[in-house]
Amino acid sequence: MIKLLEIPAIQLEQRIKKELEENPVLEEGNEEPYSDQEEIKEEQSGDQQEEFSLEDYMQDDDIPSYRLNAQNYSADDKREEIPFSLGNTFHEQLKSQLGLRKLSDEQEVLAEYILGNIDDDGYLRRELEAIADDLAFSAGLEISYESLHEVLMIIQEFDPAGVGARSLQECLILQIERKELKNPVTGLAHSILKNHFEEFTNKHYEKIIQRCSITEEELKAALEEILRLNPKPGGAMGDSQAKSFHHIVPDFILEESEGNLNLYLNSNNVPELRLSRTYSDMFESYNANKASASKDEKDAITFVKQKLDSARWFIDAIRQRQNTMLLTMNAILEYQEYYFYEGEETRMRPMILKDIADMTDLDISTISRVVNSKYIQTHFGIYPLKYFFSEGMQTDSGEEVSTREIKKILRDCIDAEEKRKPLTDDRLSAILNEKGYQIARRTVAKYREQLGLPVARLRKEL
């Protein structure tokens, strides 16, 4: 049950399918008893349904091998296969371009070795001298730096533009040089990348304007041209099968109706489970006459009993999982009730795992397993359960607030700042103190980094 509690909805569906395949006693459907009409229909269609008997589990060493091979396939049978295109990897596409170049045998060896050192982003992050040393030790080739550099220049002409670059600056220059440099905007962008790259990365725009003798509008147009370039050219031609797409299936669904919050477990793809009546009746029938049963019959009874016990355990574990998850999520819902009505971060209370463990009388480790990798679909978006947990601090008035509320205010301040003169961490700390949140500059820096926001200097815009 603990293992089932850890997995999210999409993996639970796969786990149930696996159990259905491995245990013939387990089947989909409700545990409600059959009606008389259903029993009559079952008897009438008995000839068309697959019948099971104890003899299916008897040992018979005299069965010829040809009877164990299925030969009942037809050319007209429907094949439930999912077609997919494997495609070429990024490095395979580069090697295919290598075959279009006229190279000497030595150059071809060097080119393949260099291609092998290009990472998935399209960069050559090893020094040519180190590659030359590798070739000397591994292949016994004494290669000069000039020979390697000449081959690298050929590779840098491959698609996508920027491949084989040894730095971000070189990558962007290789891309801009594929464009029409006679265009004033493109030419200025090329000049900035080649001669003023440090000022560009540090956003020292005044220095660039002064040194290039240009206007602010001309600089703005050049920067827009640079921002269209791809800093990771390999990502445009990566292996489509190697990319991992995280598909989210919510474990809970929260709906608001007439001022009330209604919580449901998402069971759209999780089938109802029951014990097979055929196997249950078989076990009861032979169990009643086990005194006169043969050894083979006793072995078959033991097999069926094991499968029945396993199926009962699995159904019970699924029920326990559902009850524990609903108990935990209802506690979170009760604790954060004001937040769930509107979805406003400033109304979220500070909450830790121990708070929910105390409300549910469950162990903290159990709460952690429920929260991990689970999602809830609300009327204001889909969120991981971990999102609702945060530490707390007190304001000047003694009110306890969530750190998430402080981060929300911090983000709002940064979003509203004048981009020509971004707010420093010291200034942000002063603003929060004015609002009643006593936070030091280093704490502001920590929260800003957790929000993925750069320092003031790098947030500067024209």
> Is the domain of 269 the same as that of 351?
yes
Split into its structural domains, the chain has a count of 3
pLDDT, tens only, 424-455:
888 888 888 888 878 888 888 888 888 888 88
Measured at the CA of 244, the angle between CA 1 and CA 234, to 5 degrees, comes to 160
Q: How many CB atoms lie within 10 A of CB 427?
A: 16
- Are the C-beta atoms of residues 271 and 30 closer than 8 Å to each other? no
Q: d(Cα 383, Cα 375) in Å, to the nearest integer?
A: 6
> Is the domain of 149 the same as that of 288?
no
pLDDT value at 331 more than 90: yes
> Is the domain of 125 the same as that of 137?
yes
Q: Domain span at residue 155?
A: 90-237
Beta strand extents in 339-438 (DSSP E only): 375-378, 381-384, 392-394, 400-402
> Is the domain of 360 the same as that of 398?
no
> Is the domain of 379 the same as that of 404?
no
As a whole number of Å, the CA-based R_g of the chain is 33
Weakest-pLDDT range from 183-187, 228-232, 233-237: 233-237
Query: Exposure of 320 by Cβ count < 10 A (0-12 exposed, 13-18 middle, 19+ buried)?
Result: middle
> Is the domain of 199 the same as that of 158?
yes
- Give pLDDT, residue 459: 82
Domain boundary among 388, 420, 441: 388
Residue 222 lies in a domain: yes
- Give pLDDT, residue 188: 92
> Is the domain of 145 the same as that of 217?
yes
- Give pLDDT, residue 64: 47
Q: Which two tokens stand for residue 74?
A: 């037809």
Weakest-pLDDT range from 146-150, 176-180, 342-346: 342-346
Domain boundary among 354, 388, 422: 388
Residue 28 lies in a domain: no
Q: Which two tokens stand for residue 447?
A: 């929260």
Domain boundary among 362, 388, 414: 388
DSSP assignment letter at 85: -
Q: d(Cα 149, Cα 156) in Å, to the nearest integer?
A: 10
Weakest-pLDDT range from 49-63, 240-254, 338-352, 428-442: 49-63
List, in sequence order, every residue forming a beta bridge with 401; answer none if it has no partner. Answer: 393
> Is the domain of 276 the same as that of 377?
yes
pLDDT averaged over the chain? Answer: 79
pLDDT value at 417 more than 80: yes
Average pLDDT for 409-436:
86
Residue 45 lies in a domain: no
- Are the C-beta atoms of residues 246 and 10 closer than 8 Å to each other? no
Residue 299 lies in a domain: yes
pLDDT, tens only, 340-363:
887 887 778 888 888 899 999 999
List, in sequence order, every residue forming a beta bridge with 253; answer none if it has no partner. Answer: 264, 377
Q: d(Cα 295, Cα 59) in Å, to the nearest integer?
A: 11
> Is the domain of 294 the same as that of 198?
no
Query: Exposure of 8 by Cβ count < 10 A (0-12 exposed, 13-18 middle, 19+ buried)?
Result: middle
Using CA atoms, how far residue 310 sits from 20, 22, 323, in Å, is: 11, 11, 20
Which backbone phi and psi does 145 adopt, to 5 degrees? Answer: -60, -40
The CATH number of the domain holding residue 418 is 1.10.10.60
Weakest-pLDDT range from 7-11, 331-335, 401-405: 401-405
> Is the domain of 291 the same as that of 374?
yes
> Is the domain of 341 the same as that of 353?
yes
Q: Which two tokens stand for residue 160?
A: 């996508």
Is the sign of the CA dihedral 339, 345, 351, 353 positive or negative? positive
Task: Single out the residue of 405, 243, 263 nearest to residue 339, CA to CA.
Answer: 405
DSSP 241-255: TT--------SEEEE
Q: Which two tokens stand for residue 169?
A: 């600056």
Residue 356 lies in a domain: yes
Residue 37 lies in a domain: no
Using CA atoms, how far residue 418 sits from 201, 202, 306, 456, in Å, is: 20, 18, 71, 11
35 confidence band (pLDDT: 50, 70, 90) = very low
Weakest-pLDDT range from 51-60, 265-274, 277-286: 51-60
Q: How many CB atoms lie within 10 A of CB 171?
A: 25
Weakest-pLDDT range from 245-254, 290-299, 451-460: 290-299
Fill in the amino acid letter for 234: G
Query: Exposure of 174 by Cβ count < 10 A (0-12 exposed, 13-18 middle, 19+ buried)?
Result: buried
pTM to 2 decimals? 0.53
42 confidence band (pLDDT: 50, 70, 90) = very low
pLDDT value at 159 more than 70: yes
Task: Single out the residue of 150, 128, 118 nearest to residue 233, CA to CA.
Answer: 118
Residue 19 lies in a domain: no
Which range, 5-14, 235-244, 426-435, is most confident?
Answer: 426-435
Task: Single out the residue of 396, 390, 381 nearest to residue 348, CA to CA.
Answer: 390
More confident residue, 71 or 432: 432
169 confidence band (pLDDT: 50, 70, 90) = very high
- Give pLDDT, residue 396: 63
Task: Single out the residue of 304, 319, 305, 313 nearest to residue 270, CA to CA.
Answer: 319
> Is the domain of 203 the same as that of 282?
no
Q: Which two tokens stand for residue 135?
A: 């070739």
